[in-house]
Structures are given as C-alpha cells and as structure tokens.
Amino acid sequence: EVHLVESGGGLVQPGGSLRISCAASGFSFGDHYMDWVRQAPGKGLEWVGRSRKKANSYSTECAASVKGRFTISRDESKNSLYLQMNSLRTDDTGVYYCASGPIGSHDYWGQGTLVTVSS
C-alpha cells in the first residue's frame, strides 16, 4: 500500500525558512513523479513544484510564484522528498501536500502539513 507522510510544517515569521519532508513507501520511488501541491486556507489547489523520475535524473522544477525561493530535492536512499522554503511570505501560508504518480497525475496524496507564515 502506498503511503506519503509529510512532516516539518509549523509557524515561521515572514522572511524565514522552513524545510518540509515527505516520506514515501509502498511503491518504486524512482518510478514516480513527486510533486508538492499547496492549498491556502479556503482556496483551491496550487502546484508548487516537481521532482521528475529517476529516468529523468530526478530533475526538478518549481512554479514561478516560488522560483528562486523554494528548492525541491529527493533522497533515494531515504525514499524521501523535501521542500526547502526560504524568504517565506504570508501568502505562502497553507497546507502543503506531497503527491505522486507514474504518469504525471497525482495518484497518491499525503495528508498534508500546515505551514503558517505570520509575525
């Protein structure tokens, strides 16, 4: 059974940094696209970024709204995905989901971790 478990969320001041993690199990880690998707309170879904499959060298890409501030990485030895968030702004507040799938859609989702950016 596939499991994605996010951790590391919390309260951070504007301009601060935070790293959140996603531990994956139940599937071949290198065969899935791994994405971060966020949801601001009461709002819709926003794609944050992607780590492509091993066959694509685990290359990464982030949305324009976070480019230059957020970095995605993947540790194959730990079956884990990470999102390093720097220069956080209040509009980065929301639930951050880890999502994965073999074809690019989000077949599997974690329960999410809440990131609150506030002074």
Site residues (vs another protein, CB under 8 A): 35, 37, 44-47, 50, 61, 63-64, 97, 99, 101, 103-112
> Two tokens at 80?
């884990």
CB within 8 Å of 49: residues ≥ 6 apart = 35, 36, 60, 61, 62, 63, 66, 70, 72, 83
Minimum CB separation from another protein for residue 49, in Å?
8
Q: Which is nearer to another protein, 16 or 101 (CB)?
A: 101
DSSP 93: -
Q: Which is nearer to another protein, 5 or 54 (CB)?
A: 5
> Two tokens at 74?
């993947």
Q: Looking up tokens 């071949």, which residue turns up?
A: 28
Minimum CB separation from another protein for residue 26, in Å?
15
Q: Which is nearer to another protein, 44 or 77 (CB)?
A: 44
Minimum CB separation from another protein for residue 15, in Å?
25
